[in-house]
Amino acid sequence: MTSSPVSLSMPTVPRRRRTPEDVAAAAGVVGEKRVLLAAPRGYCAGVDRAVIAVEKALEHYGPPVYVRKQIVHNRHVVETLEERGAIFVDETDEVPEGSLVVFSAHGVSPAVVRSAEERGLRTIDATCPLVTKVHREAVRFAKGDYEILLIGHVGHEEVEGTFGEAPDHTQIVNSPEEADTIEVRDPDRLIWLSQTTLSVDETMETVRRLRERFPNLQDPPSDDICYATSNRQAAIKKIAPQADLVIVVGSANSSNSVRLVEVALEYGAKEAHRVDFANEVDESWFEGVATIGVTSGASVPEVLVQDVLRLAADYGYAAVEEVVTAEEDILFSLPKELRATLKEAGDGSRGLGGRGQRPMS
């Protein structure tokens, strides 16, 4: 009997890191080695609130707790919650009837809420309050028969949720270039809203181009780009002109993390890279580098930043200077469904989420 050949995959062999001496020999460094550490960075109040919501749900209801989409866009956070019993799904029809599901920080459309109700699901809405604000603006202006130009990225969960509040009154503007070609129903009843995690500069460029074509375009009642996105971009703008290299800690599907790389390069960083974990840093990036800028997206726990700083120190970048451009002290109450449960259970722990209010891990 002739046996069929068996194909065996080669085992993954960890890449051997070059030594600090090898990196130094490849390209000399002019000046003192240092790290400029952006502040603020990492977790914002909305992310903190959403993560605590899942943690508390697991603690009080027990696993499994279902979560529609990633609770926040960060691999480490999602994998950690999965280990504790969270199950992440794409849609509510994947959740067994009668089960508990948490809506992610990015928000959901009314259609998703209806789907959950039809399946008899218990829900916890962990939508960031700043995203909820944009949803309410969309509903309000649609009722006033305004056409809404929603500046954001097609396919992003937040944009899908906001669009779903008023689909008949909303068009998505994906880039400044699209502002030059979009057609509207009535240029005199027009308002723009935006995804909360965009580049501030690119959004303003999109608005500028829209207003050139539609002078009566109205602004939202308050800034839609969230404070955390603006603050993290402002910090990296200050660091970038001094940086030979910028490392942004954050996941590929994190819009605000990706924008930080773009902003760093636009404002003068010679090189910029995004990593999820310190082990993704390529030590060849350090060749000839005197100043490294380090920051992280709004869904990144501080422990991941500290891992990058420890790696940088191993290669001679032990001097760390924090560059502070803003102070953040915003706190959001936990979702109302969860607050009621905590109160009934006599849970005296805080019912808030916000910067500086949780441990590093």
Report d(CA 154, CA 14) in Å as an integer.
37
Report d(CA 334, CA 331) in Å as an integer.
9
- Taking alpha carbons only, the member of 225, 153, 142 closest to residue 185 is 142
Known binding positions: 44, 73, 106, 128, 156, 196, 226, 254-256, 299
Listing DSSP states for 119-169 in one string gives: TT-EEEE---HHHHHHHHHHHHHHHTT-EEEEES-TT-HHHHHHHHHSGGG
For residue 306, give the 3-state DSSP assignment.
helix
- Say which residues have a Cβ less than 8 Å from residue 117's Cβ, sequence separation at least 6: none
Tell me the H-state helices in 196-253: 200-213, 227-239
Beta carbons of 295 and 304 less than 8 angstroms apart: no
Report d(CA 265, CA 262) in Å as an integer.
5
Q: Say whether the peptide bond before residue 64 is cis (omega within 30 degrees of 0).
A: yes
Residues annotated as catalytic are 158
Residue with tokens 């002109």: 241
Q: Which two tokens stand for residue 105?
A: 């920080």
Report d(CA 218, CA 302) in Å as an integer.
38
What φ, ψ does residue 225 adopt, rounded to 5°?
-70, 125
Tell me the H-state helices in 27-109: 45-61, 75-84
Beta carbons of 193 and 220 less than 8 angstroms apart: yes
Known binding positions for isopentenyl diphosphate: 73, 106, 156, 254-256, 299
Known binding positions for [4Fe-4S] cluster: 44, 128, 226
